[in-house]
Structure formats: C-alpha cells, structure tokens
Amino acid sequence: MRFLRTFTALLFAAAALTAPASAEALSLEGVGTFESPTYVTSDPGDANRLFVVERPGRIQLTEAGNTTTFLDIESLVLSPPEPGTGNNEGGLFSMAFSPGYAADGLFYVVYRGVDDPDTGGEDESGDWHLDEFSANGDTADPASRREVLTVDYPSADLNAQLHYGGQLEFGPDGYLYASIGDGGPQGDPNGNAQDVTDLFGSILRIDPSGSSPGEYSVPSDNPFAGTAGCADGCDEIWSYGLRNPWRFSFDRETGALAIGDVGQSTWEEVDYEPVSAELGRGDNFGWNCREGAHPYPGPGEPAPVCADRVGTFTEPVFEYQHLDGNCSVTGGYVVRTLSLGDLFGRYLYADFCVGELRSLSLGLPAAGGDRSEGLSVPFVTSFGEDADCRIYVASLTGPVYRLTEPAAGAPAGCPAELPPSTSPASTLPPSNAFSFGKVKRNKRKGTATLTVIVPGPGTLVLTGKGLVKQRPSGASRAARIVAKTVSAAGKVKLKVRSKGKKKRTLNRTGKVKVKAKITYTPTGGDPNKKSKRIKLVKRL
C-alpha cells in the first residue's frame, strides 16, 4: 500500500486531529493507542470485546478499559524496515472471526511472512499467508496455527513494491473472502492482475474449514472453479483485475460488497457490487489495463490483452485524482449504526496521506454525494466495524478512535442486520458473466479458434454474419451455428470461419474481419450476450 512508503515524509507534516465544526457534528472518541494498528474488529458475539491488529504481528484485546495481548505471532511476521529505508509493505494486515466463533473459537489472519528455515530450499520471505488460529477465552495459542493458504511472492528484492491486499471478511453467504494485491512491482509489468491462472490482483472466496495444513475447499459456484491449467490455482478467485485492494467490506444490511482499490500514480477507486450483481462474481475490475476508469499506462500503450478485453471491464463507481496531497484510498464501511444520524447508509472512506474522513452514497452505475464529514485522522490505515455496527478509525501513528455523535437519546446498535451464517451456503443466482481469452488463427484454413472463459455449466451459442461450424454430413443448415453445452467452469474453444461474401473477400484479399456474437446461458440462469471482432487471415 502506498501509505507505507510515504509515511516518513508525511509524518512530520501531519496536522493535528481536526475537531468537528459544531457540537452537533460527528466526533471521535479515543479507544486507545497501539503499535502501528492496521485493523479493528470485535468479537461477533460481544461488541465490547474489541480487537486491534498491530502491524508487527500482535492482536490486542481491549475490554472495559483493559488491554491485553490476545495473539502474538511476531516471529512469523515479516515486518517492514524502519520508515525511509525502502518499501514498507508488510506486517500483520487483518483478521476475521469464524461465523461460528462462539462454538468453535476459530479465527483467521493474513500477513506477510518470514522465511521458514525448517522447509529448506528457496527463501520464502515475503510470502502472503492466510492462517487459522484457535482461541480460548481471552487468548489464542500461537501453537494452534494451521496454515490455510500461502501464496509465493517474489523474494529477490524485499524492498520492491509488492502489493499485498490483506483484507479478510466472511461474506453474507458464510464464505471467507480475502484480498491479495497484484504482486508488483509498480505497474504490474507481468500482467498478474489480468491473469486468472494465478491468484494475484484478486478477491478470493473459499471455505477455510479443515483440520490439516493447506486444507480448505473452493465453492462450486466460484467463477473459475474447475478451470484447467492454473499454475498456482485459480479456482479460489472470485473477482480480479485489482491492483491493491487493501480494504473491502460487506454492507451489514444489504450484503453489498465495496472495495477500496489503491491506485498507481493518478487515480484511486472504489468498486461496488450489490447482491443483485452477484457481488462481483467473475468481474474484471480492469487493472493493469485501466487505472480507475482510465486507460493504463496511457494512449497507444496498452498491452494486447487489454485491447482484447475493452468493453468487458467493471468500472469503478467512484474515483478521485492525486491532487492536494491525495495518495492512497483507505476503504471503509457502509455505516449501519443507528446513532450516527444522516451518515447512516453512507460509505465512509479516507485518503491515507490527507486523512480527511469522507462519505458517499454507493450505487450503480455511479456513487454520488461525496462529502467531507468534518474530521481528519493522520494516516488512516483502516476503518473497523464491531458487532453493534459502531465504526472505528485506526491511525498508523497509534491511536484508534470510535466514531460518535453527541445526539441526546440517539438509538444505538444495528438495524435488522444479516444474521451470521454458521454453515457456508451460496444463495446467489448462477453467474452469466463470461470473458474472452486468446484467439488463435489457422492461416492455411482461414479459420480462428476463439477461447471463451465461462463461470459454470450452461450453453454457448455463436452467431454472426459469416460465422459457421463445419456441418456434419446430412445435418441441417441450422447445425452450422455452434450450440455447445458447457459442463463446468473453464475455457471453451469455438471455431470461427467465413462464408458467402466474407469467404470470397478472404480468398481475394487474404484477410477479413467478422463480428462474433456469443450468448452464454448458465444452467438455471439468464442469458448474457457479448460481441468480439475477429480478424481472419489466409495465406494466399
């Protein structure tokens, strides 16, 4: 995250905590001071048991004014070097309690890890780790650690901008969602975020349940479940095309997903996916073909894969430019505590370098009503939400605050919220989101093979002027249109060729463009149509 390399330069210029404009405005109540806090949450069954994640590798439990260490895994966590010595990305990023925490005592953490000398071989320093721990009352034993998922990161230069993401949240469907950055370096030159054969630049979705190291399961309705050819596994991917989704959250009332994705050098963005849009299932948010809603790296420079995917990206609902000191978005929560007046139902966010708390109304196709809330906190690393929907703000300098409003008689607590799920079970309709892969041409035959990536079982139909399939002997003319049954998620190949005038043009000139119209209908779902222009080439 960009804040981790700009922290030193800004620390000495940080303004004091900005006071509200009036007695009726929002205010900040101090919870405590911690060592580089990166996340705040509460016991799902007791909002007064507050947990603060500290970047060096500890989780502190604050209750009734007393603070004790809940978990210390500093020996496992690769903390960043002192500010000013290079890239400072690293540490313990966040945590999430199991939906059944009251009974099973399980919770999950994500962090940048140190090398494990017991494994031998390649240096594992800097890898992304998702681990499970078990708690007993007010403490968790580090020895209860169970490794769930580890993603290898480049380790040749630990000062490179590697982008870790680092958010964990259980969704309204009971599954665990986790964010992971593009893996760096700057600009994602390897195209990781656009490559669904690796996990980088994505929101992952899994059922972390298991008893042995590395044991978890992938929901069958994940968009790439069953895809062949994944180098490091891609079944876990829920959505992709993200640069550094440092913080995301689910709306406690509607279940909608909001993502704050840290930009490169010009634009910061917020992405929004309501349940009706399947929470972004299989969506491509565009990086590194786009930064915010803008082409990246610039006019005339996009990679070939970007040109092939124009029109398929899911655009942000809100973006802002790097002006007046802005540098890095810290995504927050849709406010659902009843005590915060007209902030209720609005999405709260901040920029790390500026620190001003702002809010907006999320919606499709665009958010609206962006405004300042009259408060600033230096170096906002994260927002937090407790079991009573109260909102917290953490500063990298140490303080953690609770957002309050001094309105006499204001109601407290959550509205009729989504109940936590104790057994993962997806209620989302089958996705009809699909994308195009590579096109391979056969110059001898003047045909092309179009790869279509589908999220699950269904039917693919290829139509378009001049597009035919080789007709079996005795078949009707209608059989020339490809109608292919898809039995699972993955890559499907369709043959494209020309006929009639387009075939004569191809034979005469050696090239012709045809417009392929693809309709994908998932089993039990609604059809979705997309078009792609394909150049056919024939050797004369």
Q: How confident is the model over 264-297, as pLDDT tens digits?
A: 989 999 999 999 889 999 999 999 999 999 998 8
**Residue 468 neighbours by CB distance under 10 Å:** 20
Local confidence band at 23 (pLDDT 50, 70, 90 cut-offs): very low
Local confidence band at 245 (pLDDT 50, 70, 90 cut-offs): very high
* Per-range mean pLDDT, top range of 19-23, 155-159, 189-193, 425-429: 189-193
Local confidence band at 504 (pLDDT 50, 70, 90 cut-offs): confident
Rounded Cα–Cα distance for residues 382 and 173 (Å): 24
More confident residue, 19 or 400: 400
DSSP per residue, 273-286: E-GGGGGGTT-B--
**Residue 393 neighbours by CB distance under 10 Å:** 27
Mean pLDDT of all residues in 398-407: 85
**What helix, strand, coil percent values describe the chain, rounded to 5?**
10, 40, 50
pLDDT at residue 480 tops 80: no
**Residue 149 neighbours by CB distance under 10 Å:** 23
Rounded Cα–Cα distance for residues 32 and 444 (Å): 72
Strands (E), 396-464: 399-404, 435-442, 447-454, 458-463
Give backbone dihedrals phi and psi of 483, rounded to 5 degrees, phi first: -130, 100
Query: Which H or E run contains 502?
Result: helix 500-509
Question: Model-level pTM?
Answer: 0.79
DSSP per residue, 216-243: -B--TTSTTTT-TT-SS--TTEEEE--S
Rounded Cα–Cα distance for residues 14 and 3 (Å): 13
In 3D, which of 424, 432, 426, 479 has the Cα closest to residue 459? 432
Strands (E), 230-367: 237-240, 247-250, 257-261, 267-273, 290-291, 294-295, 318-321, 329-330, 347-351, 356-361
Taking the alpha carbons of 230, 233, 237, 240 in that order, is the dihedral positive or negative? negative
